[in-house]
Amino acid sequence: MILRAETPTRLRISDIGGSDPSLELGLQYHDKRVDYELAKFKHSRWFSEKYGQEAFDEKLAQLKAEQTKSLLFKEEGCGYWTYTGLAQKLQRQFGCQFESDIKYPDFQPLPWSLDPLKPYPFQQEIIEKMLHARHCAVEVATGLGKSNCLVHMARRMGLQAVIVAPSASISGQLHVRLTHDLGKRYVGLYGAGRKDLGKLITVATAQSLTRIEPGSPAWKYFSKAPVLFFDESHLTPAATFEKVCFGLMADAPYRFFFSGTQFRNDGLDLLLDGITGPVVYKKTVREGIAEGYLAKLNFTMIRMESHSGFESRDVNEMTREHLYYSPEVNRAAADLANKFVGLLGKKVLILVDELEQFTKLEPLLKHEVGFAHGGAAGSEVLPVAWQKSDPDKLVARFNAGQLPILIGTSAISTGTDVQANGATIYLRGGQSAIEVMQGAIGRSTRL
């Protein structure tokens, strides 16, 4: 079997003597998103009542068939192909020959605007490994300086680059850092109300890039960039991720993906690998702590008894009643926060899922509090005084020691540069390992 990288995203598979069953099996994955749709559909009695049992059975069979998907594609007259990011995986599995038609432009290093933050030895290793691989990913825990690696790589390459972030908060942080280190002359921002075009390096939100129409000036500008950086790549919805990487940025030969957790909860890990390429470096929170780069963490789980007799088959409703809105839970959380601030002089970050949780907590807190959320104009739950929120400013005040308690929703739970908080109180539900590792633990790792 011969693998040929025809483009940065398309890997031609030839000389396989027909469809190889082991190859087909190796490129299949289970889409857990369909599991949810299937479970939901099985209880939709209205469908069979409206369209009949035969239509119900047909739809059920269709959903079951969609659970298993394949990244082995067949093109009439041209044979089989898959995504270029899977080349190393297939080489390892089948021991096949690899060839590439991809052209990589030479580096043209940029000057520093100010003295840069020098990379730690492990960061320098990340930089060298990524630049050598040219299409790859790293899995490095929050607080270990992924953004520092990104800045040094962008400066050293000196080529037109697009740096994609999953949120306006993260893109704003990256833009500030790059502008500080390289200067306004080279760095622009696309998204969050701005549409800078013409800069050598552009920081953009993933969602803003999906809205760019083919053939437009923005499309022509971004699609010719030879370098793609994707920060917190695991956080981006699969459809958005595919649209940016396989659409607008399909021709970028240099492709670098950064995350603290290079895996997904939806079963699309193989697709993620096809986009990001191999993971060339890993460093966990445990390793970061042992090597002195991250704060030593102390975990405490507190068992609470709910005095509510509420029962429901809806897991979300049970979570709301027995966790989010529980008087016992909120009193215990507020008591902890008050003691950390009042007795220990420590800043406290409280992570919540819903706006109403804030209304339960705020009256119980004895110190100044800020509430960082994505906006709640006209909310019937939140008082008018709290409906406006500027997460970046609140985090800046918290980091500066001007705000002892910060309550935040998902607007700040992952990727936001929260520094040196004394305690994180986690009042969120769900079963996402990524959310716990990145959202909760990741907010507490700064020295």
Which residues 6+ apart lie within 8 Å of 261 measured at CB? 139, 234, 433, 434, 437, 438
- C-alpha to C-alpha distance for 227 and 153, rounded to whole angstroms: 10
Tell whether the model's pLDDT for residue 53 goes beyond 60.
yes
**pTM score of the predicted model:** 0.81
The answer to which of 74-78, 225-229, 301-305, 390-394 has the lowest mean pLDDT is 74-78
- C-alpha to C-alpha distance for 100 and 79, rounded to whole angstroms: 17
Cα angle for residues 246, 145, 443 (degrees, 5° grid): 95
- C-alpha to C-alpha distance for 366 and 382, rounded to whole angstroms: 19
Residue 349: count other Cβ atoms within 10 Å of its Cβ. 25
Task: Specify which residues 27 forms β-bridges with.
Answer: none
Tell whether the model's pLDDT for residue 392 goes beyond 80.
yes
Tell whether the model's pLDDT for residue 227 goes beyond 60.
yes
pLDDT at residue 99, rounded to an integer: 93
Share the mean pLDDT of the chain: 89
pLDDT at residue 245, rounded to an integer: 93
At 141, give phi and psi (nearest 5°): -60, 150
Q: Which of 271, 416, 199 is nearest to 257 (CA)?
A: 271
pLDDT digits (tens, 9 = 90+) for 242-260: 899 999 999 999 999 998 8
Percent of the chain with pLDDT over 90: 58
Mean pLDDT value of segment 401-413? 88
Residue owning tokens 């990288």: 5
pLDDT digits (tens, 9 = 90+) for 375-386: 888 888 898 989
The answer to which of 126-140, 212-226, 331-345, 425-439 has the lowest mean pLDDT is 425-439
DSSP 109: P
8 A C-beta contact, residue 168 and residue 176: no
* Cα Rg, the chain, nearest whole Å: 24
Strand, helix or coil for residue 43? coil
Tell whether the model's pLDDT for residue 217 goes beyond 70.
yes
- C-alpha to C-alpha distance for 99 and 427, rounded to whole angstroms: 51
What confidence tier does 336 reach under pLDDT thresholds 50, 70, 90?
Answer: very high
- C-alpha to C-alpha distance for 234 and 272, rounded to whole angstroms: 8
8 A C-beta contact, residue 419 and residue 403: no
Cα angle for residues 274, 279, 285 (degrees, 5° grid): 130
- C-alpha to C-alpha distance for 54 and 394, rounded to whole angstroms: 56
In the chain, count of helices (H) and strands (E)? 19, 19
At 372, give phi and psi (nearest 5°): -95, 115
- C-alpha to C-alpha distance for 126 and 254, rounded to whole angstroms: 15
Tell whether the model's pLDDT for residue 264 goes beyond 70.
no
8 A C-beta contact, residue 127 and residue 157: no
Q: Which of 171, 179, 172, 129 is nearest to 149 (CA)?
A: 129
Q: Amino acid identity, residue 182? A: L
- C-alpha to C-alpha distance for 332 and 321, rounded to whole angstroms: 16
Q: Which of 403, 394, 397 is nearest to 373 (CA)?
A: 394
Strand, helix or coil for residue 432? coil
- C-alpha to C-alpha distance for 60 and 216, rounded to whole angstroms: 41
Quick one: the chain helix, strand, coil %, rounded to 5? Answer: 45, 20, 40
8 A C-beta contact, residue 313 and residue 170: no
Tell whether the model's pLDDT for residue 427 goes beyond 90.
yes
The CA distances from residue 292 to 18, 140, 285, 286, 288, in Å, are: 53, 15, 11, 10, 6
- C-alpha to C-alpha distance for 41 and 59, rounded to whole angstroms: 9
DSSP for 282-321, written as a single string: EE-HHHHHHTTSSPPP---------------S-HHHHHII
The CA distances from residue 375 to 172, 268, 387, 410, in Å, are: 17, 31, 6, 12
Strand, helix or coil for residue 50? helix
pLDDT at residue 199, rounded to an integer: 96
Structural tokens at position 122: 């492990």
Task: Specify which residues 171 forms β-bridges with.
Answer: none
- C-alpha to C-alpha distance for 72 and 20, rounded to whole angstroms: 10
